[in-house]
């Protein structure tokens, strides 16, 4: 997820090493998405802490679904703005 965001921002900014610079669109941020890195870390910590209660697998499934949804949102946002 972070790679998709960094790659999209790098393309827009026209940084060296990117092959698809878009002139006239500096400053577009691709931080859209349901869960960010902080929320993912909290979910992983919760899964580890609640492992003894058997809830961790449910949290990991939720994390997987939410992360995939966030990735889709970021790809869609990059597609619309590039």
pLDDT tens digits for 1-52?
Answer: 567 667 766 665 555 554 444 555 555 566 667 888 888 899 999 999 999 9
**Residue 27 gets which letter from DSSP?**
T
Q: Tokens standing for 10?
A: 């790098």
Taking the alpha carbons of 28, 36, 17, 77 in that order, is the dihedral positive or negative?
negative
Higher pLDDT, 20 or 58: 58
More confident residue, 54 or 20: 54
Q: Which residues contact 68 (CB under 8 A, 6 or more apart)?
A: none
Q: Is the pLDDT of residue 81 over 80?
A: no
Tokens of 80: 């619309």
What pLDDT, on a 0 to 100 scale, did the predictor assign at position 63? 93
Q: What is the pLDDT of residue 68?
A: 92
CA pair distance 58, 36, nearest whole angstrom: 19
């Amino acid at each position: 997820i972070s790679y998709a965001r960094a790659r999209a921002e790098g393309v827009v900014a026209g940084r060296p090493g990117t092959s698809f610079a878009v002139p006239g669109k500096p400053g577009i941020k691709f931080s859209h998405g349901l869960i960010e890195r902080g929320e993912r870390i909290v979910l992983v910590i919760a899964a580890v802490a609640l492992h003894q209660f058997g809830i961790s697998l449910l949290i990991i499934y939720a994390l997987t679904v939410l992360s995939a949804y966030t990735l889709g949102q970021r790809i869609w946002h990059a597609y619309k703005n590039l």
